[in-house]
Structure 1
Amino acid sequence: MSNFLEQFTTEIKANVPGYIAVTVTEVATGICYVSHSDKADFDPEMASAYNLEVVKAKQGAIKALGLDSKIQDILITLTDQIHIIDVAENGEYFIYLAVDSSKANLGMTRALLKKYKKDIVNEL
């Protein structure tokens, strides 16, 4: 694992309340550059693969509607978790973050993700 991805994962794990899992995934190929989960029964790479389909579907909808817009992030709220899919400005990769909704604050989680995303944007 590259040092900047290792540092990114370490920072997210240590500083995002309710952290469950994180991946950084390439949109074109579905390859995970990095993945980690604090739960043995939560497969972040499988979650990322399914969320890649969500990203591609939304990109297709944007194109079909003729919108001149790009995805910033996609928020999925489950009964006990929050999943954020943060797509890079260039659309080449996304960060997938899952947190426990009873421990996380959505605003703070998004702000922290944005902060740590800056550390990897220039490297990928």
Structure 2
Amino acid sequence: MGGGDADRYKTVSASAAGTATVTHKSGKGYGTYVVINHGGGWSTLYAHLEDAAVKSGAKVTKGQKIGRVGKSGQQDSAHLHYEQRLNGNDVKAVLHGANVYYFGERTLTSKNC
């Protein structure tokens, strides 16, 4: 979500409570990312972060800061790669009753946080 270096360093918050099951930093692919397990097979992935504010195994509350928008993983511009997953499969995100716009530059803010 979002795009352009104007978004770099902005806070990334957890969309729901859970346990940070993976935090990782690599130079390629997702770069720095956090996966939060919400239970019932649901998880969320937050990738290309500048840095992670939680460690694997940490309990996370809805709205808690989990990192900052970055361009890790050899990205050209800062953005947040966000995925909702059910049993490991991507599920299209819906925000305020509408499908989330995926490709392009657009900043989305939830009224839930």
Question: Normalised by the size of structure 2, how large is the TM-score?
Answer: 0.30
| Higher Cα radius of gyration | 1
More strand by share: 2
Question: Normalised by the size of structure 1, how large is the TM-score?
Answer: 0.28
